[in-house]
Amino acid sequence: MASLVRKKILVKGVVQGVGFRPHVYKLAVAHALAGWVKNDAAGVTIEAEGRLSSVKTFIREITLKKPAAARVDSVFVSAVAAAGEKNFCIAKSGGKAAASAIIPADLALCPDCRRELLEPSDRRYVYPFTNCTNCGPRFTIVKSVPYDRPATTMAGFKMCPDCLAEYGDPLDRRFHAQPNACPVCGPSVSLEWAGRSLTGLPALEQTATLLLSGRIGALQSLGGFHLACRADSPAAVKKLRAAKKRPHKPFAVMVSSLAAARLICSVSRLEAGALSSPEAPVMMLRKLAPGSFPGAAPALSKLGVMLPYTPLHAALFRLLEKKGFTGALLMTSGNFRDEPICKDRAEVKARLSGAASFSLFHDRPIHNRVDDSVAYEAAGGLRLARRARGFVPAGIKLASAGAPVLACGADLKNAFCLTRGGEAFLSQHIGDLSEPRNQAFFKETLANFRRLLKVSPAVAAHDLHPDYASSALARALPGKKTAVQHHAAHALSVAAEHGLETPFIGLSFDGTGYGTDGKIWGSEFMVFKDRTWRRAAHLDYFPLPGGDAGALETWRPALALVRNAFGPAWRGPAGRIFSGVPAAKSRTVERMIEAGLNCPATSSLGRLFDAFSFLSGIRGETTYEAQGPMELESVYGPAGAAYSFDVKKVPGGYLVDPAPAVRAAVRDRLAGRPAALISAGVHKGLAAMAVETACRLSKDTGIKTFCLSGGVFQNRTLLELVTTGLERRGCGVYANRLVPANDGGLALGQAWYVLKGYRQAE
């Protein structure tokens, strides 16, 4: 008989809460091995004993046949003495291993659980908390590692005999599924409306009835509450917009299935895969009919669409269908402008009672609040506009490791980043840190992350802007502080996620960022080489009357740019474009520009886009960030020639003068040409300028690798035009995929700046 060997195997990655131990158990039994598997602070530890050939095959299949939601980063194998065991078991979690376990993100309802949920004869028929090892809550319910039921908010629910039998059966897909539950022993839903209440299935049925009647409801989901109503009810949508003080900002809709999504939007293979994935983000899809869903996405060509990613959503849509409703529900975050999403009944009563006429909540506490993720397809890949549910707290593998760093991000679309070894962990979307509740959310989430990751960073990175709340939060922490220039961090976020160690040129295009000269940057071409960065090209500065007011009243930067482009003659024909602006306001802004009063100098491409949205006749005032540019992109078409930008050689690099493009846009507007033609001129012209400037820098430096980042590169048209233009010239082009190009990904770049020891060139 062949001698037996015993191996100790440490598996690191996303291996807790994804059915990994049952997977290992089944493999061990199939190969007639003895030993054990357990969760610990490092990941999953295994001891396997048997014939050498069987043990080798077992180790290989651990990775090859891993569960769909698992991610294996490393497998360490060492020999230990044979123990003579006869069986294989799942051992109690614990141990003194060094902390490196990763909590998985929440997983959307899997096909098997969906079938059970919708089968009337199943004991979990329309049960809103159906889950298994392949789906269900993870990050939102976990309090500590190792990931076991006592360490989650499911600890208070004792499994009934049937659920316990599933949990203990190695052949059942609920084997060691920590949130396992059923109507007998698990969480339940409750409905409150008009002084009345219901629980269980009657609560769901009444919720469907209330939604059909046009009411607005607060619905508790995985990481917080949604505000929901019929997307086809103008009155309900109007009321919801008034309550949230969001007159135009696009809201997402939820539809019952992928087939239903295809009835209203164009859905590519990649988009379909993302919608149906365990992450299940809101996908920005192109409408089939441009004017459809005016209540959800007014004046936009794209619509945010998501599928029912929880059993509660799926159950609700089944009950709605039984009542004859096959349309879409508008689903928006359960909060008001710039506040954290509500996560419990008390917060809903305190904050959302004026918006929602009923509330559907449950008794499974949310430990980590998290909003929906938002994604879109561009330049051949999936891109994130908001990284939250389904993606957090998944780590991002880094090309090199270092001491732990905390990067505090920026003030808008805030998310922080903690590094541990060779991985970076970004928090979920936190929001605008000018809101005190979001500052509290930041601190709450940071405490949770530090506890889960078991790290104590000695360095805190923050934005260069001295008055940012994120900078103040960083300065209040112990340890060393490092200020990182905003646009350098944007470019480095791309380098970090793609593992770029070679020199590269970063194109950081966004709205605002504090520059090293104290001015407002936003159209930066930066050369990164030998752990240094330097600003090598940018838009010529133009005055921004009223500062941030220029983003709300797009005619302000437009007036400044038209004055620059036409000189003293601007009050002639060009001045007619401003005839719709109140004369008193325009005169005040003129005087501000002439006196240099409250007119900070900016090179912001975001504000230039705002100005072009006004010059095209699309938008003079905005009610949400980037409204004008988004509407300008929505009318883009292939017809129309590129507007010209003047790229001038100056000491140290290049300066881009937008005056020729501004004059062309004004001429087209005065000639009555359509906004679509002006949009084409703007987008094609900006892309051509970016490619020309980048290639000039490439020739000067010998660098042919480019990183594109910043909120402006969320413009799918511009990203694709610039990417294609550079690739045709033989350049390597990289853009954000794992983190948003906007400020939601900034913290990753800040952390990489510190880890790699970057500094501004002398």
Locate the domains of the chain by residue range: 4-90, 189-362, 376-537+743-760, 541-685
Predicted confidence (pLDDT) per residue in 337-353, tens digit: 778 999 999 999 999 98
Q: Give the phi and the psi of residue 705 in degrees, each rounded to 5.
A: -110, 130
Question: Which residue from 464, 411, 418 is spatially nearest to 438, judged by alpha carbons?
Answer: 411
- CA–CA dist 525, 408 (Å, integer): 24
- CA–CA dist 619, 51 (Å, integer): 73
**Which of the 8 DSSP states describes residue 316?**
H
| Residue 126 identity | V
Q: What six digits make up the tokens of 621?
A: 């005032």
Confidence of residue 43 (pLDDT cuts 50, 70, 90): confident
pLDDT at 95: 61
Percent with pLDDT over 70 in the chain: 99
Secondary structure E strands in 567-631: 601-602
The distance of Cα 742 from the centroid of its chain, to the nearest Å, equals: 9
Confidence of residue 2 (pLDDT cuts 50, 70, 90): low
Burial class (CB in 10 A: 0-12, 13-18, 19+), 53: exposed
pLDDT at 154: 97
Looking at the chain, the number of H-run helices and the number of E-run strands are 22, 32
Rounded to the nearest 10 degrees, the angle between the axes of helix 486-498 and helix 746-756 is 80
Question: Which residue from 478, 419, 477 is spatially nearest to 443, judged by alpha carbons?
Answer: 477
Instruction: Please tell me whether residue 754 adopts helix, strand or coil conformation.
Output: helix
- Note the pTM of the prediction, 2 decimals: 0.93
Compute how many other C-beta atoms are within 10 angstroms of the C-beta atom of residue 359.
Answer: 23
- CA–CA dist 747, 736 (Å, integer): 13
Tell which wins on pLDDT, 17 or 760: 760
pLDDT at 100: 63
| Residue 106 identity | D
Predicted confidence (pLDDT) per residue in 245-288, tens digit: 999 999 999 999 999 999 999 999 999 999 999 999 999 999 99
- CA–CA dist 513, 748 (Å, integer): 16
* Fold of the domain built from segment(s) 4-90: Alpha-Beta Plaits (3.30.70)
Contact assessment for residue 411 and residue 422, using Cβ atoms and an 8 Å cutoff: no
Confidence of residue 3 (pLDDT cuts 50, 70, 90): confident
pLDDT at 388: 98
Predicted confidence (pLDDT) per residue in 108-137, tens digit: 999 999 999 999 999 999 999 999 999 999
Torsion of CA 76, 82, 88, 93, to 10 degrees: -50
Burial class (CB in 10 A: 0-12, 13-18, 19+), 257: middle
Predicted confidence (pLDDT) per residue in 693-711, tens digit: 999 999 999 999 999 999 9
**Which of the 8 DSSP states describes residue 107?**
B
Confidence of residue 175 (pLDDT cuts 50, 70, 90): confident
502 pLDDT exceeds 90?
Answer: no
Q: What six digits make up the tokens of 255?
A: 């539809």
Class of domain 541-685: mainly alpha
Mean pLDDT of the chain: 95
* Fold of the domain built from segment(s) 189-362: DHBP synthase (3.90.870)
Q: Per-residue DSSP letters for 505-534?
A: EEEEEEEEEE-TTSSEEEEEEEEEETTEEE
Q: Report helix, strand and coil shares of the chain as percent, to nearest 5.
A: 35, 25, 40
Contacts of 331 (CB under 8 A, 6+ apart): 219, 226, 227, 228, 251, 252, 253, 254, 306
What CATH number should be reported for the domain whose range is 376-537+743-760? Answer: 3.30.420.360
What sign has the CA pseudo-torsion 208, 212, 218, 221?
positive
- CA–CA dist 30, 91 (Å, integer): 18
Q: Return the residue matching tokens 């291993």.
A: 97
Cα distance from N-terminal residue to C-terminal residue, the chain: 72
Characterize 83-104 residue by residue with b for buried, 16 or more Cβ atoms within 10 angstroms of its Cβ, and e for exposed. eebeebebbebeeeeeebbbbb
